[in-house]
Protein backbone atom coordinates (compact mmCIF):
# COMPACT_ATOMS: atom_id res chain seq x y z
CA UNK A 1 0.00 0.00 0.00
CA UNK A 2 2.85 2.38 0.75
CA UNK A 3 4.24 1.51 -2.67
CA UNK A 4 0.95 2.77 -4.07
CA UNK A 5 1.52 6.02 -2.16
CA UNK A 6 -1.35 5.36 0.25
CA UNK A 7 -0.73 7.47 3.33
CA UNK A 8 0.90 5.55 6.22
CA UNK A 9 -1.54 7.21 8.61
CA UNK A 10 -4.49 5.88 6.59
CA UNK A 11 -2.95 2.40 6.46
CA UNK A 12 -2.58 2.35 10.23
CA UNK A 13 -6.07 3.66 10.90
CA UNK A 14 -7.59 1.13 8.53
CA UNK A 15 -5.66 -1.64 10.29
CA UNK A 16 -7.26 -0.68 13.58
CA UNK A 17 -10.65 -0.20 11.92
CA UNK A 18 -10.42 -3.79 10.69
CA UNK A 19 -10.31 -4.95 14.31
CA UNK A 20 -6.57 -5.29 14.91
CA UNK A 21 -5.04 -3.76 18.06
CA UNK A 22 -2.09 -2.49 16.01
CA UNK A 23 -1.79 -1.23 12.47
CA UNK A 24 0.50 -3.19 10.11
CA UNK A 25 3.36 -0.69 10.38
CA UNK A 26 3.31 -0.84 14.17
CA UNK A 27 3.31 -4.64 13.98
CA UNK A 28 6.36 -4.42 11.72
CA UNK A 29 8.05 -2.16 14.27
CA UNK A 30 7.31 -4.70 17.01
CA UNK A 31 8.73 -7.62 15.04
CA UNK A 32 11.75 -5.61 13.91
CA UNK A 33 11.97 -3.89 10.54
CA UNK A 34 15.45 -5.34 10.00
CA UNK A 35 14.05 -8.82 10.65
CA UNK A 36 11.34 -8.20 8.07
CA UNK A 37 13.97 -7.05 5.60
CA UNK A 38 16.10 -10.16 6.12
CA UNK A 39 13.10 -12.44 5.65
CA UNK A 40 11.96 -10.58 2.55
CA UNK A 41 15.41 -10.76 0.98
CA UNK A 42 15.91 -14.42 1.84
CA UNK A 43 12.51 -15.28 0.36
CA UNK A 44 13.30 -13.42 -2.84
CA UNK A 45 16.68 -15.10 -3.26
CA UNK A 46 15.96 -18.64 -2.03
CA UNK A 47 12.29 -19.11 -2.95
CA UNK A 48 11.52 -16.72 -5.79
CA UNK A 49 15.02 -16.98 -7.31
CA UNK A 50 14.86 -13.31 -8.23
CA UNK A 51 17.55 -10.65 -8.21
CA UNK A 52 15.05 -7.79 -8.42
CA UNK A 53 13.72 -6.40 -5.11
CA UNK A 54 10.01 -5.62 -5.02
CA UNK A 55 8.56 -2.41 -3.61
CA UNK A 56 8.10 -3.90 -0.14
CA UNK A 57 11.79 -4.79 0.09
CA UNK A 58 12.77 -1.37 -1.23
CA UNK A 59 10.74 0.38 1.48
CA UNK A 60 12.11 -1.83 4.25
CA UNK A 61 15.68 -1.34 2.97
CA UNK A 62 15.18 2.42 2.85
CA UNK A 63 13.96 2.70 6.42
CA UNK A 64 16.58 0.26 7.81
CA UNK A 65 19.69 1.06 5.78
CA UNK A 66 19.14 4.70 4.87
CA UNK A 67 17.14 6.02 7.82
CA UNK A 68 18.72 3.57 10.33
CA UNK A 69 15.39 2.83 12.01
CA UNK A 70 15.00 -0.80 13.13
CA UNK A 71 11.74 -0.70 15.05
CA UNK A 72 10.59 -0.77 18.66
CA UNK A 73 13.80 -2.40 19.93
CA UNK A 74 15.79 0.60 18.71
CA UNK A 75 13.25 3.17 19.86
CA UNK A 76 12.57 4.27 16.29
CA UNK A 77 10.91 2.72 13.29
CA UNK A 78 7.83 3.65 11.32
CA UNK A 79 6.88 5.25 14.63
CA UNK A 80 8.72 7.41 17.14
CA UNK A 81 8.83 6.08 20.72
CA UNK A 82 9.47 7.78 24.04
CA UNK A 83 12.08 6.77 26.62
CA UNK A 84 9.74 4.11 28.02
CA UNK A 85 9.16 2.57 24.62
CA UNK A 86 5.66 3.97 24.25
CA UNK A 87 4.51 4.81 20.72
CA UNK A 88 4.12 8.57 20.26
CA UNK A 89 3.54 9.32 16.56
CA UNK A 90 4.25 8.12 13.05
CA UNK A 91 7.79 9.21 12.21
CA UNK A 92 7.39 12.38 10.08
CA UNK A 93 10.37 11.37 7.93
CA UNK A 94 8.48 8.38 6.55
CA UNK A 95 6.53 10.79 4.37
CA UNK A 96 9.80 11.70 2.61
CA UNK A 97 9.94 8.25 1.01
CA UNK A 98 9.61 8.17 -2.77
CA UNK A 99 8.08 10.78 -5.00
CA UNK A 100 4.61 12.16 -5.46
CA UNK A 101 1.84 13.09 -3.08
CA UNK A 102 0.40 10.61 -0.61
CA UNK A 103 -3.16 9.40 -1.15
CA UNK A 104 -5.51 10.06 1.72
CA UNK A 105 -8.75 9.34 -0.12
CA UNK A 106 -8.38 5.59 -0.79
CA UNK A 107 -11.50 3.57 0.02
CA UNK A 108 -11.17 2.34 3.64
CA UNK A 109 -13.49 -0.62 2.98
CA UNK A 110 -11.28 -1.85 0.15
CA UNK A 111 -8.13 -1.38 2.24
CA UNK A 112 -9.69 -3.33 5.13
CA UNK A 113 -10.62 -6.11 2.72
CA UNK A 114 -7.07 -6.26 1.39
CA UNK A 115 -5.50 -6.34 4.85
CA UNK A 116 -7.69 -9.17 6.14
CA UNK A 117 -7.68 -11.17 2.89
CA UNK A 118 -3.91 -11.30 2.43
CA UNK A 119 -3.44 -12.54 6.00
CA UNK A 120 -6.09 -15.24 5.62
CA UNK A 121 -4.60 -16.27 2.29
CA UNK A 122 -1.17 -16.68 3.89
CA UNK A 123 -2.74 -18.88 6.57
CA UNK A 124 -4.29 -21.03 3.83
CA UNK A 125 -0.88 -21.35 2.16
CA UNK A 126 0.57 -22.53 5.48
CA UNK A 127 -1.87 -25.45 5.39
CA UNK A 128 -0.85 -26.34 1.86
CA UNK A 129 2.80 -26.32 2.90
CA UNK A 130 2.02 -28.40 6.04
CA UNK A 131 3.31 -25.65 8.32
CA UNK A 132 -0.07 -25.83 10.07
CA UNK A 133 -2.25 -28.93 10.35
CA UNK A 134 -4.95 -27.82 12.79
CA UNK A 135 -7.31 -24.90 12.04
CA UNK A 136 -7.46 -24.06 15.73
CA UNK A 137 -3.72 -23.42 15.82
CA UNK A 138 -4.02 -21.06 12.86
CA UNK A 139 -6.92 -19.11 14.34
CA UNK A 140 -5.68 -18.85 17.92
CA UNK A 141 -2.09 -18.24 16.83
CA UNK A 142 -3.08 -15.42 14.51
CA UNK A 143 -5.30 -13.68 17.08
CA UNK A 144 -2.87 -13.99 19.99
CA UNK A 145 0.32 -13.80 17.94
CA UNK A 146 -0.12 -10.59 15.97
CA UNK A 147 -3.67 -9.47 16.71
CA UNK A 148 -5.60 -10.70 13.69
CA UNK A 149 -9.12 -9.27 13.99
CA UNK A 150 -10.62 -11.28 16.88
CA UNK A 151 -14.23 -10.77 15.82
CA UNK A 152 -13.60 -12.96 12.75
CA UNK A 153 -12.63 -15.96 14.88
CA UNK A 154 -9.25 -16.02 13.13
CA UNK A 155 -8.15 -16.17 9.48
CA UNK A 156 -9.29 -19.74 8.87
CA UNK A 157 -12.63 -19.21 10.56
CA UNK A 158 -13.06 -16.09 8.46
CA UNK A 159 -12.60 -18.12 5.27
CA UNK A 160 -14.94 -20.86 6.49
CA UNK A 161 -17.61 -18.34 7.50
CA UNK A 162 -17.45 -16.61 4.14
CA UNK A 163 -17.19 -19.89 2.26
CA UNK A 164 -14.18 -21.06 0.24
CA UNK A 165 -15.88 -20.34 -3.09
CA UNK A 166 -16.67 -16.74 -2.13
CA UNK A 167 -13.18 -16.27 -0.69
CA UNK A 168 -11.57 -17.60 -3.89
CA UNK A 169 -13.71 -15.20 -5.92
CA UNK A 170 -12.58 -12.34 -3.70
CA UNK A 171 -8.92 -13.32 -4.07
CA UNK A 172 -9.21 -13.53 -7.85
CA UNK A 173 -10.69 -10.03 -8.00
CA UNK A 174 -7.97 -8.62 -5.78
CA UNK A 175 -5.28 -10.42 -7.79
CA UNK A 176 -6.49 -8.72 -10.97
CA UNK A 177 -6.44 -5.33 -9.28
CA UNK A 178 -3.42 -5.55 -6.99
CA UNK A 179 -1.14 -8.35 -8.13
CA UNK A 180 -0.47 -12.08 -8.03
CA UNK A 181 0.19 -12.08 -4.29
CA UNK A 182 -3.61 -12.29 -3.91
CA UNK A 183 -3.97 -15.33 -6.19
CA UNK A 184 -5.78 -18.19 -4.38
CA UNK A 185 -3.75 -21.36 -3.88
CA UNK A 186 -4.62 -24.88 -5.05
CA UNK A 187 -5.97 -25.96 -1.65
CA UNK A 188 -8.46 -23.09 -1.55
CA UNK A 189 -9.64 -23.87 -5.07
CA UNK A 190 -10.11 -27.52 -4.14
CA UNK A 191 -12.12 -26.64 -1.02
CA UNK A 192 -14.25 -24.29 -3.11
CA UNK A 193 -14.90 -26.94 -5.78
CA UNK A 194 -15.94 -29.53 -3.19
CA UNK A 195 -17.89 -27.15 -0.94
CA UNK A 196 -15.73 -28.00 2.06
CA UNK A 197 -14.41 -25.95 4.94
CA UNK A 198 -11.02 -26.09 6.65
CA UNK A 199 -12.63 -27.26 9.86
CA UNK A 200 -14.29 -30.14 7.97
CA UNK A 201 -11.26 -31.31 6.04
CA UNK A 202 -8.74 -30.76 8.81
CA UNK A 203 -11.01 -31.75 11.70
CA UNK A 204 -8.98 -32.58 14.82
CA UNK A 205 -8.88 -36.29 15.66
CA UNK A 206 -11.35 -37.25 18.36
CA UNK A 207 -9.86 -38.57 21.57
CA UNK A 208 -11.44 -41.90 22.64
Domains and CATH numbers, the chain: 2-96 (1.10.1040.50), 108-201 (1.10.1040.50)
Residue 204 has a pLDDT of 75
DSSP 73: G
Distance CA(52)–CA(42), nearest Å, equals: 12
Distance CA(140)–CA(118), nearest Å, equals: 17
Residue 207 has a pLDDT of 59
Q: What is the mean pLDDT of each run of 10 residues along the chain (208 residues)?
A: 96 96 95 96 91 94 97 96 94 94 96 97 95 95 94 97 98 96 97 97 75
CB 60 within 8 A of CB 41: no
For 131, the 3-state DSSP assignment is coil
Give residue-wise pLDDT tens across range 8-33. Answer: 999 999 999 999 999 999 999 999 99
Residue 48 has a pLDDT of 85
Instruction: Specify which residues 81 forms β-bridges with.
Output: 87
How would you classify the pairing of strands 79-81 and 87-90? Answer: antiparallel
CB 29 within 8 A of CB 91: no
CB 147 within 8 A of CB 27: yes
Instruction: Specify which residues 80 forms β-bridges with.
Output: 76, 89
Alpha helix stretches (DSSP H) within the chain: 8-17, 24-31, 33-42, 55-61, 108-128, 135-146, 155-162, 164-178, 186-194, 198-201
Residue 103 has a pLDDT of 96
Residue 52 has a pLDDT of 93
pTM over 0.85: yes
Amino acid sequence: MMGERISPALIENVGRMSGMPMGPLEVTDSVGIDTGLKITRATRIEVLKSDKPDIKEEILAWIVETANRLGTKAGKGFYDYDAKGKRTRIWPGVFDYGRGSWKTDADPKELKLRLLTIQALEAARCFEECVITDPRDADVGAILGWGFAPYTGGPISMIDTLGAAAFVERCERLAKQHGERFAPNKLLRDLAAKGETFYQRFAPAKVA
